[in-house]
Amino acid sequence: MDEKIKKQFDEMKARHPDTVLLFRVGDFYESYEEDAEIVAKELGITLTKKGNTKMAGFPHHSLDNYLPKLVRAGKRVAMCDQLDEPQPLVKRVGAEATTSQTSNSPTMAEVKKFPIWEIKPSPTNPRKTFDEDAIAELAASIKQHGLLQPITVRPKDGMYEIVMGERRYRAWQENRRLDPHYPAEIPCIVRDMTDEEALDAMITENLQRQDVDPIEEAFAFGQLVKTGKSIEEIALRFGKSKRFIQERIKLDNLLPALKQWVTKEWMTIGAAMYICKLTEDEQQQFFDNYTEDAQDDLVNDPINKQDAIDFTNDLFMRIENAIWERDFSGSCGSTCEKCPFNDANVGCLFYEMKPHDATCTSRAKWDAKRLSWLQHLVDENAASLIKEGGSLEAGKTLLIADGGYYVERCTDYEPLLEYIRGKGIKIAKHEDYFERFSHYREDDERLREKLANNEVYRCLCVKAGYRGTEIRTKYFEFKNSNTEDAGDEVQAMNLVNEYKENERKNITNTASKLQRVLNDIEPAELPTAPLTQTESLVLMTLILRKCSYQFRSALDVNVTYGSEPKVFNYAKSHPEQAHQICRDFLREELSSSGVEYDADLQECQRMLLDEWAKEATDEVVNDMAVKLAKKQSKIEEQLTALGYNTDGTKMDF
């Protein structure tokens, strides 16, 4: 802490121990010691330590956002913009708080000057767009009045990286461009900041601007999420709703070209919110719809929300994107290939249509067929689905309906639930029974083992998605039995899992104790007689486990840590492949890394290849010998010129 600030901090704290002090230091407001702990906690910002001093700070642009939060938390606040006179105390008075600030208050940090070429903009700065006219106006103001507020920089990779003040930096550069005699050194305040602290400061400063670009806002929110901030924390911090933050972050999924359209105002935010939820290929199709001539028209007639809706409606009715299988007839009574509403079947009207561009021309038919396919998926699983009034049982499937953001958009969501209820099938929410879902794929052996051990439960999940209602199979992990809302069914399933877990542990514990039995056998006392049939089978199993992945895949034998001894069973049932298994083991061992440093393995490698691939082996050996001879010959000539032999001894002349 600066000595002058420390002196004022100590004096003010002695007079007002219950007041949170905020000191204006360059582009930041800073708090110290116990005040820093309060500020960090109430505002959700990082608490740092500089030497022995605890600190928490935020960009001065954020004051209007952060000050009310401190007041609402019941804190008395004083803002210190000058050394001799602190600003009036801010107290909670009803729902309002007032402050007074001076625009020309001196900063309480040492200002240094650095050449413009020693300073660089930050590549992580969320702000990517700068108005050239505004920069020119700022440059003229700086030239006339000077730089009223130094820029904030931090040491980075041998230079100084801008944390705050890139507009001022660009304006200074503009003055240098117009006037070569303009000073090269720009006033700076240097702050030691981590990458995370610098990014946080840049994001906070940029998001407080009135003219913040939506794309830059999306990028900034996304960066905060990547640093570990939750949606709730971001929403609270910037006074936005959780829905707003989530929707903004999705904008960052736009293709770069489409992001430029939003920035140029060629596409409205409403349209962008529709398009950003599409895949990259689908966004590219949307972009390709607009030729260069059409893009010129976007200046005066930007793409609006309805344009995006029309495109997505057409896209989602593209037959190659249909969720049903190609031979499914459903409510139409016909496959899409033979359907009269398939525009590819009307050659006289759509002669240029390609099969993969085929689109359904009837929204009613499309929606009806989609619903009938979803009903078909329910019917396929009906035998295993738990009925209304039923309880969880091992081997059964529970239907989960969690709604989602797009329930109002999905016209088939409620009709599908009515169909399910009509079948007498139980509908639950995942939080009623489960903690989280498993990320393993359905064909993963690890998931199948978890299912067999009752660690996860199979669920048929109905969810309203952006493209329509979806049905997917997911596997969920049960809640902990000790939680307050865990019912009898959850407790029973967890007990079943515990029962099976005890059996698994018994197997592993037995194996562990048998290891000790083997360790107690003296190796030197092992018999020298030929291997027994059992010993040969065990040896072959171990060798097969060490064979190459390609070889084991060809045999359809995978090494797993499951409960089934697959490799052992294969070796036992295929004794005729013992020699081939051994040969692949030899090939794998002698082709792996490490051979080049082991004399035993090198000798084995040469001998084996003399039998397996003599011609290719001789070619490699001869080629390497020639290369070695050339290298050694050059060295021999140099050694001779120096009067030395190749063994390092002096030559006798």
Coil, strand or helix at 544 = helix
Question: At which residue do the structure tokens 């103001």 appear?
Answer: 141
Same-domain check for residues 474 and 590? no
Number of H helices, E strands in the chain: 24, 15
Q: Are residues 151 and 211 in the same domain?
A: yes
| Token representation of residue 404 | 């989602």
CA distance 620 to 625: 9
Residues 447 and 558 in one domain: no
Do 585 and 620 lie in one domain? The reply is no
Q: Which residues span the domain enclosing 336?
A: 317-370
The model's pLDDT over 11-43, given as tens digits with 9 standing for 90+, comes to: 888 888 888 888 877 667 888 888 888 888 888
Element (H, E) at 188: strand 185-190
Q: Is 330 helix (H, G, I), strand (E, B) or coil?
A: helix
Please give the radius of gyration of the chain, using alpha carbons only, rounded to the nearest integer. Answer: 36
Q: Number of folded domains in the chain? A: 6
Structure confidence at residue 100 as a pLDDT band (50, 70, 90): very low
Which pLDDT does position 559 carry in this prediction?
A: 67
Quick one: 177 and 274 in the same domain? Answer: yes
Q: What region does 33 belong to: left with phi over 0, alpha with psi -120 to 50, or beta?
A: left
Residue 107: predicted pLDDT: 36
Among 59, 26, 36, 28, which Cα is nearest to 205's?
59
Q: Which residue has the higher pLDDT, 613 or 313?
A: 613
- Rounded to an integer, what distance in angstroms lies between the CA atom of residue 341 and that of residue 351? 15
The reply to whether 526 falls in a domain is no
- 136 & 219 share domain: yes
Question: For 191-208, how does the pLDDT look when each residue is reduced to its tens digit (9 = 90+)?
Answer: 888 887 787 778 777 766
Q: What are phi and psi of 352, to 5 degrees?
A: -90, 0
Q: Over pLDDT 70: what percentage of the chain? A: 88
List, as own/partner pairs, every contact residues 243-247 make where C-beta atoms lie below 8 angstroms and the sequence separation is at least 24, other chains included.
Answer: 245/221, 247/273
Judge if 353 and 397 occupy the same domain: no
C-alpha span between 23 and 1 (Å, rounded): 11
Distance CA 437, CA 454 (A): 14
Which domain CATH number covers 201?
1.10.10.2830
- Which of 30, 33, 161, 166 is catalytic? The answer is 166
pLDDT digits (tens, 9 = 90+) for 209-236: 556 778 888 888 888 888 778 888 788 7
Q: Which of 578, 513, 512 lies closest to 542, judged by CA?
A: 578
In a domain, 529, yes or no: no
Q: Any idea which of 236-240, 243-247, 248-252, 441-445 has the lowest mean pLDDT? A: 236-240
Greatest extent of the chain over all pairs of C-alpha atoms, in Å: 108
Least confident of 127-131, 284-288, 421-425, 565-569: 127-131
In a domain, 611, yes or no: no
Provide the β-strand partners of residue 186. 114
Query: How far apart, in Å, are the Cα atoms of 496 and each of 393, 453, 476, 489, 503?
Result: 10, 8, 15, 11, 11
Look at residue 107 and tell me if it is in a domain.
Answer: no
Residue 348 within any structural domain of the chain: yes
**Which of 52-56, 282-286, 625-629, 632-636 shows the lowest mean pLDDT across its residues?**
52-56
CATH number at residue 40: 3.40.1170.10
Nearest of 497, 460, 466, 463 to residue 479 by alpha carbon: 497
Q: Are 425 and 388 in contact (CB under 8 A)?
A: yes
DSSP letter assigned to residue 301 = S
Average pLDDT over residues 468-491: 82
Strand order in the sheet with 112-115: 112-115, 185-190, 151-156, 159-164, 119-120
CB atoms within 10 A of CB 8: 20
Strand order in the sheet with 48-50: 48-50, 53-59, 28-32, 19-25, 76-80
Number of other CB atoms surrounding residue 150 within 10 Å: 22
Residue 52, CA distances (Å) to 24, 32, 48, 306, 490 in order: 20, 11, 10, 59, 51
State the Cα angle at 85 between 82 and 86, rounded to 5°.
Answer: 80
Distance between CA atoms of residues 449 and 562, nearest Å: 7
Inside any domain, residue 418: yes
Is 37 catalytic? The answer is no
Does the pLDDT at position 105 exceed 60?
no
For 160, residues 6+ apart whose C-beta sits below 8 A from its C-beta are 114, 118, 119, 120, 153, 154, 188, 190
Same domain, 483 and 400: yes
- Let me know: does 26 contact 147? Beta carbons within 8 Å: no
Of the residues 465, 496, 527, the one at which a domain ends: 496
Rounded mean pLDDT of the chain?
82
Query: In terms of domains, do 215 and 129 share one?
Result: yes
Strands (E), 431-510: 434-437, 456-465, 468-478
Residues 75 and 177 grouped into a single domain = no
Please check whether residue 88 lies inside any domain of the structure.
no
Higher pLDDT, 373 or 128: 373
pLDDT at residue 522 above 70? Answer: yes
Q: Are residues 388 and 366 in the same domain?
A: no
Burial label for 30, CB within 10 Å (0-12, 13-18, 19+), is: buried
Give the predicted TM-score (pTM) of the model.
Answer: 0.44
Collect all residues with Cβ–Cβ distance below 8 Å to 629 and sequence separation of at least 6. none
Taking the alpha carbons of 285, 286, 290, 295 in that order, is the dihedral positive or negative? Answer: negative
Answer whether 369's CB lies under 8 Å from 330's CB: yes
One domain for residues 132 and 249: yes
| pLDDT exceeds 50 at position 92 | no
